[in-house]
Structure 1
Amino acid sequence: MARIKPQQLLMQSKKKKGPSRTSIPAILIGALFALFLVLSLMGTYRHWHNRPKSQEGMGLANFERSDLTTQTKKPSVPKYAIIETGKGAITMELYKDATSDVVEKFLELCKKGHFKGMLFHHVIKNYVIQGGDSQGDPAPQDWILNGKNRAKVTTSPKHEAFMIGTTKLNPNRKGFDLFITTAPIPDLNEKLLIFGRVIKGEDVVQEIEEVDTDEHYKPKSPVGIVDISLKQDL
């Protein structure tokens, strides 16, 4: 058997270890994978790059909606009125839901200072205290006195003491009568609109009730309202 020379063995070994050719499918798969990786990186970059802008836009939209809500929200209506009199302060709670028209008229006049210096021109013990603009009108005095006489025989009062009301609004009248009951009054439903009640200062109401009056129930010494202030909370 012929011996193979070492130089020939080395040449055969180099031929066997030569690089093998890469198939076309493998090349395509690698290219697709690289393309997918690049697209994924680009999508991630765009997402994080645009995120602050979108958040700012959302914040602006929320601010605009909040600002619009604030602008359209109606101002709150005062819940209390503090009547400063020559005898002290009377705090009243407003019944705004029951007689909204009357309360709105009362609040409007308070803001205009309408009640400053207004006198209580009828003070009837165990009945009512009346102040307002109808001093020259005999009708309120007539129904007050007649109502007081009828009240003696009535057993089912509908109005409690320390309620605050006014005569039913007349579109032709610009004034506003203010009544504070000092006892349960049964016969005033057709004449009075109750729009509040005294929650503090009942002793002041009673002190006004005790002033000396003439035969027409008019105080001999003037006593009246110094001013009325409006409060949302006490």
Structure 2
Amino acid sequence: MAKIKPQALLLQSKKKKGPTRVSITTIVTCNLLVIMTVLSLYATYKHWYKRSGNQLTMDLTRFERTETSGETKKFDLPGYAIIETSKGLITVELHKDSSPEFVDKFLDLCLKGYFKGMHFHRVIKHFVIQGGDPQNLGAAEEWTLKGKPHGQLEMSPKHEAFMLGTTKVKRNAKGFELFITTAPIPDLNEKLYVFGRVIKGVDVVQEIEEVDTDEHYRPKSPIEIVNITLKQEP
């Protein structure tokens, strides 16, 4: 049997057990690939996050461009509003077709949080409950404080009980009053713009109507609108 020289054994051992060297170029290349991958993932996440946020906003304010006139019109707007009060929930069907101007204004104010914290500051039994700015009543105070209808005018369907409206006397004002009728009131035909109808929560409206008030029909305990949620379906 042939003997292997010590030098040959040493070389053979180094070939088998010696660590493999990694070049600097390989290390730099790997690091660059990792950095590029991280940046790519971050850019993708940022893109989809922004897109989802924009989509949520556009759910209520989507527009379409008509090919013939070039005008922009709203479509697919919410048809219902859920008014969360300190007494319970009131669901209102909005009259988008017959009262588009006031529905648009109402929706815009809802999105801005205008009604959050608003109080019903006038509660007149068998007449209306009113929410808005109690310090800026204007001409509305004259007829709401009467507390009952006067005259025998022809009944209008839009002024039946449990209709949602806003006062005509403040149409161009910055504020926006909310009225819910609690009885058929024919003489409000010239007082209110009606843009909705209560379809759920009539009992809540009636409970608000029954609260104790002072001589000016102001509730003795605050009745607050906590929030208004817009819905496509009731």
Question: Which TM-score tier does this pair reach, normalised by the shorter chain?
Answer: 0.5 to 0.7
Structure 1, gaps ≥5 residues long: 1-69
Q: In the TM superposition, what are the counterparts of 1:146-161 in structure 2 within 5 Å?
A: 146=146, 148-150=148-150, 154=152, 156-158=154-156, 159-161=159-161
Aligned residue in 2 for 1:101: 101
Per the alignment, in what secondary structure is the counterpart of residue 187 of structure 1? helix
Bigger mean CA deviation after superposition, 71-80 or 194-203: 71-80
Does structure 2 retain, via aligned residues, the 8 Å contact 1:79–1:232? yes
* TM-score under structure 1 length normalisation: 0.65
Residues 17-53 of structure 1 show CA distances to partners (whole Å, capped at 9, x for unaligned) of xxxxxxxxxxxxxxxxxxxxxxxxxxxxxxxxxxxxx
- Matched residues in 1 for 2:189 and 2:217: separation? 22
- Matched residues in 1 for 2:143 and 2:64: separation? 47
- Matched residues in 2 for 1:200 and 1:126: separation? 18
Aligned residue in 2 for 1:199: 199
Per the alignment, in what secondary structure is the counterpart of residue 222 of structure 1? coil
Aligned residue in 2 for 1:225: 225
Per the alignment, in what secondary structure is the counterpart of residue 140 of structure 2? helix
Residues 125-144 of structure 1 show CA distances to partners (whole Å, capped at 9, x for unaligned) of 01100001253325212112
Aligned residue in 1 for 2:22: none
Aligned residue in 1 for 2:83: 83
Q: In the TM superposition, what are the counterparts of 1:93-172 in structure 2 within 5 Å?
A: 93-146=93-146, 148-150=148-150, 154=152, 156-158=154-156, 159-168=159-168, 170=170, 172=172
Aligned residue in 1 for 2:42: none
Question: What's the CA shift for 1:173?
Answer: 1.2
Does structure 2 retain, via aligned residues, the 8 Å contact 1:130–1:178? yes
Q: In the TM superposition, what are the counterparts of 1:43-58 in structure 2 within 5 Å?
A: none
- Matched residues in 2 for 1:171 and 1:137: separation? 13
- Matched residues in 2 for 1:144 and 1:185: separation? 12
Does structure 2 retain, via aligned residues, the 8 Å contact 1:134–1:177? no
Aligned residue in 1 for 2:177: 177
The letter for the 2-side match of 1:157 is M
- Matched residues in 1 for 2:106 and 2:95: separation? 11
Does structure 1 retain, via aligned residues, the 8 Å contact 2:87–2:204? yes
- Matched residues in 2 for 1:161 and 1:172: separation? 26
- Matched residues in 1 for 2:141 and 2:170: separation? 17
Does structure 1 retain, via aligned residues, the 8 Å contact 2:64–2:75? no
For the pair 1:214 / 2:223, whether they are aligned, the reply is no
Residues 46-70 of structure 1 show CA distances to partners (whole Å, capped at 9, x for unaligned) of xxxxxxxxxxxxxxxxxxxxxxxx9
Alignment CA distance shift 1:209-1:189 (3 Å): same
Question: What's the CA shift for 1:170?
Answer: 4.4
Does structure 1 retain, via aligned residues, the 8 Å contact 2:124–2:147? no
CA RMSD of superposed structures (Å):
2.1
Alignment CA distance shift 1:157-1:177 (3 Å): same
Quote the sequence identity (%).
Answer: 64
Alignment CA distance shift 1:172-1:102 (3 Å): closer
Structure 2, gaps ≥5 residues long: 1-62, 67-73
Alignment CA distance shift 1:173-1:134 (3 Å): farther
Bigger mean CA deviation after superposition, 94-103 or 165-174: 165-174
Residues 48-99 of structure 1 show CA distances to partners (whole Å, capped at 9, x for unaligned) of xxxxxxxxxxxxxxxxxxxxxx964854110000000000000000001111
Residues 98-130 of structure 1 show CA distances to partners (whole Å, capped at 9, x for unaligned) of 111111000000000000000000000011000
